[in-house]
């Protein structure tokens, strides 16, 4: 039965080798096999897939002129989303409007430029204040709301989930904004029948606990790992090779395979809408689920080797590197 536990401490990002002659330990580089650009696959969508879904959402909502608000240029999460969204916007022939950075010029200047340049939609690329962000996005939304109403589409990534928290903290300034992210709060409308059944059966073993959110992705990663092991010859390299060949049909999170760089394809990105009329703390309702096909290009560092199932990535090696699990929420342990 799968159970969630906290990730182990990982002060040394590379695995330890045999003791050095002076009695200490050496670090050996964790290199991936040559058979693939990566030696892991993941059942949790990458940031570039989420950014692609955000651009698709902007098109669906009728936007023509869009802007990216990079909330922290030093944050890799924010810059990754900003770059991914920029590429996706250009591919869809939307007009990308450049405005002053809220982090450098103050939110007043940014808000004024969004108005004067007739921007239809913005992406808040970065974290919400309650997730560790700098709070400038919240200031921008309040400014836009205070000068006659926002009147533009606001899209935010998974660093703003849950939507109920945004509604509670920002009130009318956040009303109607869209938040994307692989986050299961509405299984009946987000998951296929196999996923709904899994949530119901697993919940019965976890009294007084909510197991929706990320558990389905971890369960899917476990299924992928077990299938790869079963199809392998028992060696590490064979298991890695088989990971990329796994194809899940009608699984917990649906049907998918993997690109040559280990990203699931297609990737399903739920979108939520902030509704301030709902009771505080009520589970988020999904607005829609957008499917995107990730490119066969790495969206993070290649070459990590780890062992186990980390949140929703399947790795092979004794210890995950910092980049392997820095954004993971849990390890999945099989008992």
Query: How many domains, the chain?
Result: 2
Give the angle subtended at the CA of 196 by the CAs of 191 and 201, to the nearest 5°: 150
Q: Do 202 and 152 reside in the same domain of the chain?
A: no
In sequence order, what are the residues at sequence separation of 6 or more whose Cβ sits closer than 8 angstroms to the Cβ of residue 230? none
Confidence of residue 105 (pLDDT cuts 50, 70, 90): low
Name the residue among 70, 81, 79 with its Cα closest to residue 105.
70
- pLDDT digits 0-9 by tens, 110-155: 898 999 999 999 999 999 999 999 898 999 999 998 866 667 999 9
Q: Do 204 and 330 reside in the same domain of the chain?
A: yes
Average pLDDT over residues 171-194: 92
Average pLDDT over residues 151-174: 93
CATH code for position 174: 3.40.50.2300
Q: Do 201 and 321 reside in the same domain of the chain?
A: yes
In sequence order, what are the residues at sequence separation of 6 or more whose Cβ sits closer than 8 angstroms to the Cβ of residue 110? 69, 99, 100, 101, 102, 140
Average pLDDT, the chain: 78
Q: 160, 181, 202: which is the final residue of a domain?
A: 181
**Is residue 56 assigned to a domain?**
yes
For residue 30, pLDDT over 70 is answered with: no
Average pLDDT over residues 165-184: 93
Give the structural domain span for 252: 185-263+299-334
Q: Highest mean pLDDT range out of 6-10, 210-214, 231-235, 321-325?
A: 231-235
Q: Do 234 and 321 reside in the same domain of the chain?
A: yes
Average pLDDT over residues 46-71: 94
**Is residue 246 assigned to a domain?**
yes
For residue 62, pLDDT over 70 is answered with: yes
**Is residue 236 assigned to a domain?**
yes
Percent of the chain as helix, strand, coil, to the nearest 5: 35, 20, 45
Confidence of residue 57 (pLDDT cuts 50, 70, 90): very high
Q: Do 190 and 317 reside in the same domain of the chain?
A: yes
Q: 121, 146, 181: which is the final residue of a domain?
A: 181
DSSP string for residues in 98-120: P---HHHH-HHHHHHHHHHTT--
Average pLDDT over residues 75-96: 92
**Is residue 1 assigned to a domain?**
no
Q: Do 88 and 156 reside in the same domain of the chain?
A: yes
DSSP string for residues in 177-216: -EEE-S-BS-HHHHS-HHHHHHHHHHHTTSTT----BTHH
For residue 67, pLDDT over 50 is answered with: yes
**Is residue 41 assigned to a domain?**
no
Using CA atoms, how far apart are residues 133 and 118, in angstroms rounded to an integer?
A: 27
Average pLDDT over residues 239-258: 95
């Amino acid at each position: 039965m799968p159970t969630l536990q906290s990730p182990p401490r990982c002060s040394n990002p590379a695995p330890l080798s045999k003791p050095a002659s002076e009695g200490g330990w050496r670090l050996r580089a964790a290199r991936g096999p040559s058979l693939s650009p990566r030696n892991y696959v993941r059942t949790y969508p990458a940031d570039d897939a989420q950014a692609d879904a955000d651009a698709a959402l902007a098109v669906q909502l009728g936007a023509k002129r869009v802007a990216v608000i990079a909330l922290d240029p030093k944050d890799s999460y924010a810059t990754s989303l900003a770059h991914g969204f920029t590429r996706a916007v250009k591919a869809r022939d939307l007009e990308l409007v450049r405005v002053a950075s809220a982090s450098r010029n103050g939110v007043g200047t940014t808000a004024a430029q969004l108005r004067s340049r007739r921007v239809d939609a913005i992406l808040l690329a970065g974290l919400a204040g309650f997730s560790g962000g700098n709070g400038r996005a919240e200031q921008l939304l309040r400014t836009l709301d205070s000068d006659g109403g926002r009147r533009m589409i606001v899209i935010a990534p998974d660093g703003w989930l849950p939507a109920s928290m945004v509604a509670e903290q920002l009130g009318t300034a956040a009303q109607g904004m869209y938040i994307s992210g692989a986050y299961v709060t509405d299984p009946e409308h987000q998951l296929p029948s196999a996923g709904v059944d899994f949530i119901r059966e697993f919940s019965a073993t976890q009294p007084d606990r909510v197991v929706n959110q990320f558990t389905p992705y971890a369960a899917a990663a476990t299924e992928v790992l077990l299938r790869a092991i079963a199809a392998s010859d028992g060696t590490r390299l064979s298991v890695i090779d088989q990971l990329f060949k796994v194809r899940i049909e009608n699984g917990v999170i649906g049907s998918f395979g993997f690109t040559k760089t280990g990203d699931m394809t297609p990737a399903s990105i739920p979108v939520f809408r902030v509704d301030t009329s709902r009771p505080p703390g009520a589970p988020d309702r999904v607005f829609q689920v957008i499917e995107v096909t990730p490119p066969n290009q790495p969206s993070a560092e290649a070459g990590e080797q780890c062992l186990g199932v980390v949140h929703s990535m399947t790795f092979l090696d004794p210890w995950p590197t910092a980049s392997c699990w820095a954004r993971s929420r849990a390890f999945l342990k099989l008992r």
